[in-house]
Amino acid sequence: MTWFWITLGITAACYGAVIGTAALMTLAERKVSAAMQYRYGPNRVGPFGLLQPLADGLKFIFKEEVVPAGANPFIFKLAPALTALPAMLAIAVIPFTGVIATYEGTEILGSIANPDIGILYVLAVTGIGVYGAILGGWASNSKYSLLGGLRASAQMVSYELSLILSVLAVVAMSGTLNLHEIVAQQSGWLGWNIFTQPLAFLLFLICSYAETNRHPFDFAECEPELVGGFHTEYSSMKFAMFFIGEYTAMVVMACLTTTLFLGGYLVPFWPDAPWFVGLAAFGAKTAFFLVLFIWVRWTLPRFRYDQLMHLGWKVLFPLALLNVFLTGLFVSLGSGGN
Amino acid sequence: MVVVERKELSFWERIYFPAILKGLKITVSKMFAPRFTRQYPEEPLPTTEVTRGQPRLAVNEDDTIRCVSCGLCEAACPAYAITIDGQETDRFIEREPERFDIDMLRCILCGFCEEACPKDAIYMSNELELADFSREALVYDIEKLKRPVSALQDRIDYVKRINDRWQTSSST
Ligand code: SF4
Ligand code: SF4
């Protein structure tokens, strides 16, 4: 029974933290973009506008829900949930910090679950995320939405491949799929995977932007061509759900980048730091990637669609393959030498 | 005919990264630049005597209203915003308004009333803010429109200056 409460506590803390961060990201997005354009951004609701996400949420709840004529109502309503759910599922295995305490001889880890196939699980559930966009686009009975959904699926197929290949290189290096162990492997001087696998890091970063439908790869919702893409026809809380899903996915991707390449909760030069320092380190590293998401969005123009496909298949994919090949070569040579 | 020479991109230009980093540097440097936004309610726009705000009725130092209820502003108003009922008074001017309403929702701030007034009784003030919860509350009555001459002095001087210039140029 005690384990039940411990797990429940950790689950509540993790979900609260990630979804709270996602909500704050919507504010940060507006604040940072405003600062980059010589504006102030929202600063009226609460101190520094901190309660703006709450106000937005309330507003969304009170908006009218419109289901367009000719839409498939069941799938139309299912799609937003399908977008938000996978991102939230992925939170379950992210190692936020190391061992918190020991209870009855078992270590309490800073993640909800610690399956041996952690990274595989994350890739599997985030892969489902695109179904929300495709189904939403199709069920809306609108050509813009449909095009947005199609683009989302095409983009996902082309970029998920490189993403997984770049993760594969990391996995080959660490020899494990367990996220806690991948983090533990990165301890030591220059042990972070960003130093040993710089190419994989770069590929992963680029692909994670495409995965989360962020600039400069936000073709699924490209405003000038597709009005709003797959969520053109959505309103009220269902529209907000897409946003929650998108921002949660961003937070999860930032967490994942931190875990895989920046040593997760490891603190440089302090190998046995207590768990809350590790948590803070994890938060700081993740925050950097979150800010990078926003920073890149408000800096770069959107790609052209053919450039996107060109980049995905002719540049990133071969590079990722090469990286996997080289890593495999080194690993097998290394173990062969032992 | 124009021949467009397409420049071959160099290797560094083709891999985007230097350009992306340059772009990121520009945006982050702009984050700390001074901001243009005016924080409106706390930082109102400056007004001058030329600002044509809402019309107000001038009240002399001895608390008497200048308006003689002649109705010229009512007639001049293109938006039919003004409604006047006159009454007698013991003062030298013999007439004053009993009722003087301006529907601020109709008023287009054109300033014709100011121009039409023969008694220098109505002036465009520098008051610009207009908000309330009902339409009725935005029909301003005489009490809401009264302003002491001192509050309108800048505008009064300005209008006089403009009118004087017009008069001298036509007489010559
Ligand atoms: S400013 Fe123009 S619209 Fe307004 S009350 Fe005077 S004449 Fe009428
Ligand atoms: S024109 Fe002047 S004097 Fe005549 S009614 Fe209007 S404000 Fe009064």
Q: What is the CATH number of the domain that holds B94?
A: 3.30.70.3270
| pLDDT tens for each residue of A240-280 | 888 888 888 888 888 888 888 888 787 777 777 777 888 88
**Which residues of chain A fall below pLDDT 70?**
189, 220, 222, 335-338
Residues of B in contact with A36 (CB under 8 A): 27-28, 30-31
> Between chains, do B39 and A40 touch, taking CB under 8 Å as contact?
yes
State the average pLDDT for chain A.
Answer: 83
- For chain A positions 289-328, those within 8 Å of chain B (CB to CB) are 295-296, 298-300
B76 by Cβ neighbours in 10 Å (0-12 / 13-18 / 19+) ranks as: middle
Query: Token pair 């993403």 is at which residue?
Result: A163
Angle between helices A73-90 and A118-139 (to 10 degrees): 160
Tell me: pLDDT of B79 over 60. yes
Ligand nearest to the CA of B102: 1
Q: What is the pLDDT of residue A191?
A: 74
Q: Which of A43, A215, A292, A300 to mutate to test the interface with B (most CBs of B within 10 A)?
A: A300
Tell me: the pLDDT tens digits for B30-66? Answer: 888 888 888 888 888 888 889 899 999 999 988 889 9
The yes-or-no verdict on residue B166 having pLDDT over 80 is no
In short, whether B125's Cβ falls inside 6 Å of ligand 2 is no
Please state the domain count of chain B: 1
In a domain? residue B98: yes
pLDDT (0 to 100) of residue B56: 92
Question: Distances in Å between the alpha carbon of A279 and those of A19, A137, A260, B115?
Answer: 16, 38, 15, 72
Q: Does A288 touch chain B (CB under 8 A)?
A: no
Summarize pLDDT for B143-157 with one digit per residue, the tens.
Answer: 989 999 998 999 999
B84 belongs to a structural domain? yes
Is B28 inside any structural domain? no
Considering only alpha carbons, which residue of chain A is nearest residue B28?
A36
Q: Would you say residue B126 lies in a domain? A: yes
Q: pLDDT tens digits, residue range B105-161?
A: 999 999 999 999 998 899 999 888 888 999 999 999 999 899 999 989 999 999 988
Confidence of residue B82 (pLDDT cuts 50, 70, 90): very high
Q: Which domain holds residue B66?
A: 55-166
Distance of alpha carbon A129 from the chain centroid: 11
What pLDDT score was predicted for residue B6? Answer: 84
What pLDDT is stored for residue B168 in this prediction?
63
pTM of the model: 0.78
Domain membership of residue B4 (yes or no) is no
Query: Which residue has the CA at smallest separation from atom 7 of ligand 1?
Result: B77
Residue B90 Cα, ligand 2 centroid: separation in angstroms? Answer: 18
Q: Is A28 on the interface with B (CB under 8 A)?
A: no
